[in-house]
């Protein structure tokens, strides 16, 4: 069936006035920048929390005056209490996992780039898109609000396991309004993510321009599309989980709270619930969540690599896309590997362990595609490529650690040690961050019309890369030695020899954090003083590079975009734009 004439998504004229243009905007480009900015702020908040944690771990008696201003109860005299350490850890995880890693590569770049990459003028539902952002924003405000309420943030971890998270204030500081605000924040984030996923799916299926068949979609678009499907199903289950937790807390129900519990000498008036039910429902979301975080990273790196290696990925679009789809689908059947020591049925442990090993196959296929594509290519070592290679390194390293955790036998020892912390920071945290940085350096010229400083970018990369290994590789070692995660101090005899190693990690972490200010400076300074960017500074092929930097209001200035080629037609210096010469800006 041939292309059909259809009414474009956008019928309204460009907005006037500051509020309509930059605040309550329905333009996907503005919304994408809003999400990216939110994530950037959240990243620095999350990092600051981790610095406070690391300072306390290395020097337990250290005084942190700023924090004692924020929470006199949690930091009496500037010295951190163990409970406040747990609160910081909880919010570090929550803010980083949700508001940075889930938001930036998907909602941030996806919102900006997906409509342009498919040749549309906007997302399918622009007002829903705006609503999604502002709901996320309110969620973030609520999460930050937990710091300024008297009782402080919750201390139950980003995983918020009941009964601790469900019984209310009796469980400790932050478990009153802190946990309620947390629950509300996450519930709002769920709703925003569901609506965002809906938008991505419908846009990719319905708003592709003439000639943009599914086989010509850029790999990043495929990644966002597959990710939207995974997000839709996963967040749909997290939402009721949060609601049931709130009912336990505020409605007196006992979904997750067993009988006979005594907290702080208070017998809890609940009975008959199952904490395991929460874990099942949470991890049903929680495992796909880590793939929701990494799939856009896969897409961004798969999109960037061909530009800088000047050749297509091995296997073309099909193999990498099928690998991503397989990863996304399999991500739903492995959640129990987070519950091997929870008291879950050991037969279910087997049922979850086997696909956990299988899910490595599509991941490894993807990694091999990227690695083999590098072979015999002319690498242009610009910053986006450096961060993409860094992503590869971090993902492979983290993935190797995963083998030890995938099997109940070895996991029994390693569960809840810093080995796990090192593992997920590599695979989920920092590799996604590196891919996000790669995307930032790659798409910044398009988004803001200016080039970032290459020199500062390279310094940022090397400091971050070395720093990440120093911090998180060492955590694997301390984890083998038995260092328990979520502990605020190394008091047990066998852990005392680890204190110098711990100090090394903390110093490296602070230096790693400092390096990020180079990036922040670069991003802000270049916005105003950077050299102006051309339409296609990297010599890439996809539709976003066939329009001005930044793009006009309707993305293409009224042109009928017609696509004739696939997204990866690179051959050394030559690159064939996806768009036909008649519709191209550069064409006659």
Partner 1 sequence: MSSNRELTMSSYVGIGVGLMLIVGIEVILTYQHLPTRTLLFSLLCLASLEGFVAIMYLMHVKYERPILFWTIFPATLFVLLLLCYLWPDAIRMATMRLLK
Partner 2 sequence: MDQSSVAATTHHDVVMEPSPYAIEKKKLGMWVFIVSDACTFGAFLFAYGYMRVGAPVWGTPFEFSSILNGVVMTAVLLSSSLTMLASVRAAQAGAKASAMKWLGVTMLLGGIFAALHLREWFKLIGEGWRLFHNPTGGAAQFGATFFSVTGLHLSHVVSGVIALAFIARGYQRDRYDASHVETVGLYWHFVDLVWMFVFPLMYLMNAR
Can you say whether the dihedral through the CA atoms of 260, 266, 269, 272 is positive or negative?
negative
Write out the binding residues for partner 2, residues 253-282 only, by CB under 8 A. 253-255, 269-274, 277, 281
247 binds partner 2 (CB under 8 A): yes
Closest separation between CB of residue 345 and partner 1, Å? 4
Tokens representing 454 are: 């290459």
Q: 336 contacts which partner out of partner 2, partner 1, none, CB within 5 to 8 A by kind?
A: partner 1
Residue 344 near which of partner 1, partner 2, none (CB within 5-8 Å, type-dependent): partner 1
The token pair that represents 571 in the structure block:
């051959």
Given a contact cutoff of 8 angstroms between Cβ atoms, the answer to whether 275 and 164 are in contact is no
If DSSP codes are grouped into helix, strand and coil, which group holds residue 264? Answer: coil
Q: For partner 2, give the closer residue by CB, 235 or 395.
A: 235
Interaction residues for partner 1, span 506-565 (CB under 8 A):
none
Helix, coil or strand: residue 222: helix
x/- site string to partner 2, residues 65 to 104, per CB under 8 A?
----------------------------------------
Q: Pattern of binders to partner 1 over 332-371, x per CB under 8 A?
A: xx--x-------xx-xx--x--------------------
Specify whether the CB–CB gap between 335 and 284 falls below 8 A: yes
Q: How far is the CB of 206 from partner 1 (least distance, A)?
A: 13
Neighbours of 514 (CB within 10 A): 12
Which does residue 423 touch among partner 2, partner 1, none (CB within 5 to 8 A, set by kind)?
Answer: none
Q: Which does 348 bind (CB under 5 to 8 A by kind): partner 2, partner 1, none?
A: partner 1
End-to-end CA distance of the chain: 29
Burial letters 323-354, b for 16+ CB under 10 A, else e: bbbbbbbbbbbbbbbbbbeeebeeeebeebbe
Part of the chain binding partner 2 (CB under 8 A), chosen from 207-215, 290-298, 457-465, 511-519: 207-215
290 belongs to the binding site for partner 1 (CB under 8 A): no
**The two structure tokens encoding residue 52:** 């406070």
- Give backbone dihedrals phi and psi of 403, rounded to 5 degrees, phi first: -60, -40
Number of residues counted as binding partner 1 (CB under 8 A)? 17
Q: What does 321 interact with, of partner 1, partner 2, none (CB < 5 to 8 A by kind)?
A: none
Report how many residues bind partner 2 under the rule CB under 8 A: 63
- The dihedral over CA atoms of 441, 446, 450, 455, expressed in degrees to the nearest 10, equals 20
- Give the span between the Cα atoms of 118 and 61, in whole angstroms: 55
Widest pairwise Cα distance in the chain: 80
Instruction: Provide, rounded to whole angstroms, the least separation between the CB of residue 253 and partner 2.
Output: 4
* Beta-ladder partners of 417: 484
Q: Does 558 participate in binding partner 2 (rule CB under 8 A)?
A: yes
Binding partner 1 (rule: CB under 8 A), the pick from 79, 138, 276, 466 is 276
Which position among 170, 236, 456, 473 is part of the footprint of partner 2 (CB under 8 A)? 236
Judged by CB under 8 A, which of 202, 374, 459, 477 binds partner 2? 202
What sign has the CA pseudo-torsion 389, 391, 395, 397? positive
Residues pairing with 563 in the sheet: 579
Q: Does 4 bind partner 2 (CB under 8 A)?
A: yes
Closest CA to 478 of 421, 426, 419: 419
As measured in angstroms, the least distance from the Cβ of 315 to partner 2 is 24
d(CA 96, CA 510): 17
**Measured distance CA(102)–CA(427) in Å, rounded:** 14
Residues that bind partner 2 (CB under 8 A): 1-11, 119-121, 124-125, 194, 197-199, 201-202, 205-214, 232-233, 235-237, 239-241, 243-244, 247, 251-255, 269-274, 277, 281, 284, 554, 558, 560-562, 582
Q: Tell me which residues touch partner 1 (CB under 8 A).
A: 229, 233, 236-237, 274, 276-277, 280, 284, 332-333, 336, 344-345, 347-348, 351
């Amino acid at each position: 069936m041939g292309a059909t004439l259809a009414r474009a998504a956008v019928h309204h004229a460009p907005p006037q006035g500051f509020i309509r243009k930059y605040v309550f905007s329905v333009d996907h480009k503005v919304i994408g920048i809003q999400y990216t900015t939110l994530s950037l702020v959240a990243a620095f908040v999350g990092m600051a929390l981790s610095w406070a944690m690391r300072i306390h771990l290395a020097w337990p008696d250290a005084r942190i005056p700023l924090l004692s201003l924020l929470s006199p109860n949690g930091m009496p005299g500037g010295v951190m209490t163990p409970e406040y350490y747990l609160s910081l850890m909880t919010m570090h995880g929550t803010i980083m996992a949700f508001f940075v890693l889930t938001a930036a590569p998907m909602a941030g770049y996806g919102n900006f780039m997906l409509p342009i990459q498919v040749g549309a003028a906007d997302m399918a539902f622009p007002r829903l898109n705006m609503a999604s952002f502002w709901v996320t924003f309110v969620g973030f405000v609520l999460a930050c609000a937990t710091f300024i309420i008297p009782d402080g943030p919750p201390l139950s971890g980003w995983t918020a396991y009941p009964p601790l998270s469900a019984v209310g204030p009796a469980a400790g500081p932050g478990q009153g309004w802190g946990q309620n605000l947390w629950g509300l924040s996450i519930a709002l984030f769920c709703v925003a993510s569901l609506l965002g996923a809906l938008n991505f799916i419908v846009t990719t299926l319905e708003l592709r321009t003439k000639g943009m068949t599914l086989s010509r979609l850029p790999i990043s678009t495929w990644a966002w599309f597959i990710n939207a499907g995974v997000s839709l199903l996963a967040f749909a289950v997290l939402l009721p989980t949060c609601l049931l937790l709130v009912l336990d807390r505020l409605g007196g129900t006992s979904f997750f709270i067993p009988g006979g519990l005594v907290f702080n000498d208070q017998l809890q008036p609940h009975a008959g619930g199952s904490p395991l039910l929460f874990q099942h429902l949470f991890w049903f979301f929680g495992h796909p969540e880590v793939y929701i975080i990494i799939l856009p990273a896969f897409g961004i790196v798969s999109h960037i690599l061909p530009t800088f290696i000047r050749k297509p990925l091995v296997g073309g679009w099909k193999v990498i896309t099928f690998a991503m789809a397989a990863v996304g689908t399999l991500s739903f059947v492995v959640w129990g590997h987070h519950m091997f020591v929870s008291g879950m049925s050991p037969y279910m442990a087997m049922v979850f362990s086997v696909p956990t090993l299988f899910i490595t196959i599509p991941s490894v296929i993807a990694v091999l595609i990227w690695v083999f594509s590098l072979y015999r290519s002319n690498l242009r070592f610009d910053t986006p490529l450096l961060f993409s290679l860094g992503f590869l390194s971090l993902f492979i390293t983290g993935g190797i650690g995963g083998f030890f955790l995938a099997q109940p036998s070895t996991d029994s020892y390693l569960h809840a040690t810093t080995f796990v912390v090192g593992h997920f920071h590599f695979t989920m945290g920092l590799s996604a961050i590196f891919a996000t940085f790669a995307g930032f350096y790659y798409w910044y010229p398009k988004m803001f019309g200016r080039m970032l400083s290459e020199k500062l970018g390279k310094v940022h990369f090397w400091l971050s890369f070395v720093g990440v290994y120093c911090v998180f590789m060492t955590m694997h070692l301390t984890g083998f030695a038995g260092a328990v995660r979520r502990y605020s101090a190394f008091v047990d005899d066998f852990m005392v020899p680890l204190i110098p190693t711990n100090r090394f990690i903390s110093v490296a972490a602070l230096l790693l954090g400092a390096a990020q200010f180079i990036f922040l400076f670069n991003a802000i300074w270049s916005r105003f003083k950077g050299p102006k960017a051309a339409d296609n500074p990297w010599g890439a092929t996809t539709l976003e590079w066939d329009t001005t930097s930044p793009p006009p209001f309707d993305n293409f200035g009224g042109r009928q975009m017609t696509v004739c080629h696939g997204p990866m037609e690179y051959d050394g210096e030559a690159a064939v734009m996806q768009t036909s010469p008649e519709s191209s800006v550069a064409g006659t």
